[in-house]
Structure 1
Amino acid sequence: MELNVTRQEQAELERLILEHDRIAQRFTRPRQMIYLFVRRAGNRGVGAYVLLEALKTYSPNARPATVYRALDYLLRLGLVVKIDSQSKFFARSPHSSQRLCLFMVCSVCGSVHEFNDPWCEKKIETTVSAAGSLLDRKAIEISVLCENCQPASAGAS
């Protein structure tokens, strides 16, 4: 069974293939599929075993190691991020893979939104550097109440 890919998704895959072939890394078909599954999950994210089941639809012999290797590749390239508080993977916004991003995680509904701010990025990098440390991850989770959950939460108080 072949995965249906939209024109926009195909254009994004072609851009990524060109970009990563240039740095001698192979953006293989399983990696492409896992990337699309994560991207399609949107701000709800997706867990590794859900990804495995989706991959098995197209490749019945897929194993957990295939998914974890693909995720490791996508994480190293900054194309996806793991939100630890949810144990789920989220696609990064195009062209933000090398930027420091704040991920606002709603503590009620679990939705995740990526936020880029050059001032915050510079401030955090300066603070980390002043402490004699190096920034290990370019993703920071912040627990929030999203716009949709604020009224429900306020009404419960």
Structure 2
Amino acid sequence: MLIQQRVSDTELNVTRQEQAELERLILEHDRIAQRFTRPRQMIYLFVRRAGNQGVGAYVLLEALKTYSPNARPATVYRALDYLLRLGLVVKIDSQSKFFARSPHSSQRLCLFMVCSGCGSVHEFIDPFCEKKIEDSVLGAGRVIDKKAIEISVLCEMCHPVAGQRTP
């Protein structure tokens, strides 16, 4: 009996793994007085299912309208704002798309490798880089506002020799 408005298994073909993750998130965020409402759950699932290709806000709106015909852009943007504040998703500005963050990285400073060829995005955590960047920012008297750094790369598919090392 987590919440009455949870996304039903049959409504979105939610897998057991997705349902377990949603229930964990509901419990975690309800404890801090934030409601993981049905639209927020649905938007989260849509973003997570987009994988490393990400998804734009208007594509999310169209997907949401399939289940809630009266959905408006504000509904999507409020849900995305909530998910961004909690660190569950990240917006990759260079693509104007949203990507789900790894469950263990939601509050960490992450590097996002964005392929300039195919547009795929891969999250990367490097504790050394994270510490160095945080120390540099704090040393300059600043505070990190967004814990996502975009790096333009060519993935193995777009630049096959990238995976080969020269002697």
Which stretches of structure 1, 4 residues or longer, exceed 3 Å deviation after superposition? none
Aligned length: 153
More helix by share: 1
Show the counterpart of 2:81: 72
C-alpha displacement at 1:96, in angstroms?
0.8
Any gaps of 5 or more consecutive residues in structure 2? 1-9, 163-167
TM-score under structure 1 length normalisation:
0.95
Q: Which stretch shifts more, 82-91 or 1-10?
A: 1-10
C-alpha displacement at 1:141, in angstroms?
0.3
Matched, 1:10 2:1: no
Which whole-Å CA distance do the structure 1 matches of 2:12 and 2:118 have between them?
29
Matched residue of 2:103: which SS?
coil
- For residues 114-148 of structure 1, the C-alpha deviation after alignment (integer angstroms, 9 at most, x for no partner) is 00011110000011111111111110000001111
Matched, 1:130 2:130: no
Matched residue of 1:135: which SS?
coil
What is the one-letter code of the residue matched to 1:56?
K
C-alpha displacement at 1:151, in angstroms?
3.0
Task: Choose which of 120, 131, 154 in structure 1 pairs with 2:129.
Answer: 120
Higher relative contact order (CA 8 A, sep 6+): 1
Which whole-Å CA distance do the structure 2 matches of 1:43 and 1:97 have between them?
16
- For residues 1-157 of structure 1, what are the structure 2 equivalents within 5 Å? 2-151=11-160
Any gaps of 5 or more consecutive residues in structure 1? none
C-alpha RMSD of matched pairs (Å): 1.3
